[in-house]
Structure 1
Amino acid sequence: MNKSFLCIVSVLFFISNVFAQKDRVENLPNKDKKKIHYGYYLGINKKGFKVSYEIDNSFVNVEEKYGFNIGLVLGYNINDNLNLRLEPGLSSNSKTLTFSNPTIPDTENDRVRDVPATYFRIPLLLQFRTNRLDNMRAFVIGGVSYDYNFSSNQKNSDDNYDGEFRMKTNNFMYEVGLGVDFYLPYFKFSPSIRGIFAINNELVRDDNPSSPWTVPIDYFGTRGVFLNLTFE
């Protein structure tokens, strides 16, 4: 996760340096004077899980993988520096879990679970922007989101005894990030990096109250890094 963060930050700095070298012609001088504005975004993500335990001799290894994000932007300019944003969209990703609880049989079918997840996300965010400098301005952004997990299997009668790892359908996240607005001749381009963190416990416990897969786990929640490219 730390390597992904450093890589994405490096990309943002590279893009910033490229645009900083352009001729100083002010593009879209009235772009941020409109109260309501629209756009869309696309990007990549790398998601995993934060796991805490009630039993010390249990461990879940999470293999983090890359996925994609896509969605729309509806923004309201409170003033020149504050922007309220609604960013509904889809986020898709998959992870592989490997359980090391000694009471679980030592076979791949019992210890390994693939966890695909496609979320419909509705983030409500507040963006604080610096004053514009030529054709760019930096910003920080943060807020909360409601996330509907299409792949949760929460109502599935099968659980880990049948090879199914279940997660909750309705979830809440918070996110924080930073980015840069670049004003191009015909549109505004805004790369940003976000950290995404689950608020609630997403784990659906197995029906057996002594399940070696879910009893040792105290908390199980999504965390990830998003790189979004926004066009307005």
Structure 2
Amino acid sequence: MTSRYTSRFPKRISLLLMCLLGLLFTQALQAQTEKVQNRPYADFKRYHLGFHVGMHVQDLAINNNGFVPEGSTAGPIYAQISNYSPGFSVGVIGDMFLMSNLNLRVLPTLHFGDKQFVYSDGEKAVASFSVRSNYLEFPLLLKYSSRRLNNFRPYLIGGPYWTMELGRKKGLEIYTKSNDYGVQIGIGCDFYLRYFKFCPELRFSFGFPDVITHDRPDLVDDPKIIYTQSIDRAQTRMIMLTFNFE
């Protein structure tokens, strides 16, 4: 019988960040009185560039298969992502104006972070380790903006992405595949300052394929092979809080 354990997506973190952005939007709307607009034609440029920095947390939605290690008397072992440590993100922004409320954006981004694995037998932890994961990500996103309110403009953003993992150590307990793809959705707000736009943005990534490398000839005679054997499939999840400068 197959057991399914899915790691806890950091709901408290995402809820807190969404509440903060919601509060930000509410204050922006409530404070609106007619005033001079900064950079009134910034949104009508056919193309413009920018950069972004921020932080993220990496997660995996894990399906366990009920694997019982040879010689074990405790039963199956189950994997999950136990803790979330913030990683660092940095990238560039390429934006193309499509129409008054719609832009097409490409955001090549470097993510530096890790995943904290914990294996348990259903009662107690039997192993824990960290796997470093550095990604080069290429999202292609549509940005749908509301009407500009003086120097504020909330927006929604979403679209597909593709990632490539950048290097890894040999002999790790878990290998993830070099390539991944999925969709991203998010919210943000443009703040029009005197010389540039400042845009806090919250995005969520949902990977589609199984990213676990199940074929591990390097661990054939290594006891660490059980950590790969116990996972049926795993899909990536990520929360990103970025600050765009355009």
8 Å Cα contact 1:128-1:139 kept in structure 2? yes
CA positional deviation for 1:177: 0.5
Alignment root-mean-square deviation, CA: 2.4
**Structure 2 residue aligned with 1:27:** 38
**Alignment-mate amino acid for residue 238 of structure 2:** G
1:152-201 CA distance string (max 9 Å, x none)? 45xx4x3xxxx532111111132110111111111111111111111211
- Residue 140 of structure 1, aligned match among 148, 156, 165: 156
Identity of aligned residues (%): 27
- Residue 70 of structure 1, aligned match among 90, 93, 102: 90
**Alignment-mate amino acid for residue 128 of structure 1:** Y
**Structure 2 residue aligned with 1:181:** 190
8 Å Cα contact 2:174-2:228 kept in structure 1? no
Please state whether the residue corresponding to 2:162 is helix, strand or coil.
strand
**Structure 2 residue aligned with 1:172:** 181
CA positional deviation for 1:22: 7.5
8 Å Cα contact 1:44-1:227 kept in structure 2? yes
Which segment drifts farther, 4-13 or 87-96?
Answer: 4-13
Please state whether the residue corresponding to 1:165 is helix, strand or coil.
coil
Which segment drifts farther, 164-173 or 121-130?
Answer: 164-173
Please state whether the residue corresponding to 2:211 is helix, strand or coil.
coil
Matched, 1:51 2:62: yes
CA positional deviation for 1:215: 2.6
Please state whether the residue corresponding to 1:7 is helix, strand or coil.
helix
When normalised by structure 2's length, the TM-score is 0.80
**Structure 2 residue aligned with 1:200:** 209
Please state whether the residue corresponding to 2:86 is helix, strand or coil.
strand
**Structure 2 residue aligned with 1:120:** 136
CA positional deviation for 1:81: 0.8
**Alignment-mate amino acid for residue 167 of structure 1:** T
CA positional deviation for 1:54: 2.4
Pairs aligned (count): 219
CA shift in 2, pair 1:186/1:18, >3 Å = farther
Quote the Cα distance in structure 2 between the aligned partners of 1:151 and 1:115: 12
When normalised by structure 1's length, the TM-score is 0.85
> Any gaps of 5 or more consecutive residues in structure 1?
none
- Residue 99 of structure 1, aligned match among 110, 119, 122: 119
1:139-158 CA distance string (max 9 Å, x none)? 111111111111445xx4x3
CA positional deviation for 1:94: 1.1
Which segment drifts farther, 194-203 or 70-79?
Answer: 194-203
8 Å Cα contact 2:25-2:154 kept in structure 1? no
Matched, 1:36 2:36: no
Provide runs of 4+ in structure 1 moved above 4 Å.
Answer: 17-20, 208-211
**Structure 2 residue aligned with 1:224:** 238
Please state whether the residue corresponding to 1:214 is helix, strand or coil.
helix
**Alignment-mate amino acid for residue 27 of structure 1:** N
CA positional deviation for 1:114: 1.2
8 Å Cα contact 2:32-2:150 kept in structure 1? no
Quote the Cα distance in structure 2 between the aligned partners of 1:219 and 1:152: 20
Quote the Cα distance in structure 2 between the aligned partners of 1:17 and 1:185: 22
8 Å Cα contact 1:152-1:167 kept in structure 2? no
Quote the Cα distance in structure 1 between the aligned partners of 2:167 and 2:11: 27
CA positional deviation for 1:6: 1.9
Please state whether the residue corresponding to 2:36 is helix, strand or coil.
coil
8 Å Cα contact 2:106-2:139 kept in structure 1? yes
CA positional deviation for 1:58: 3.3
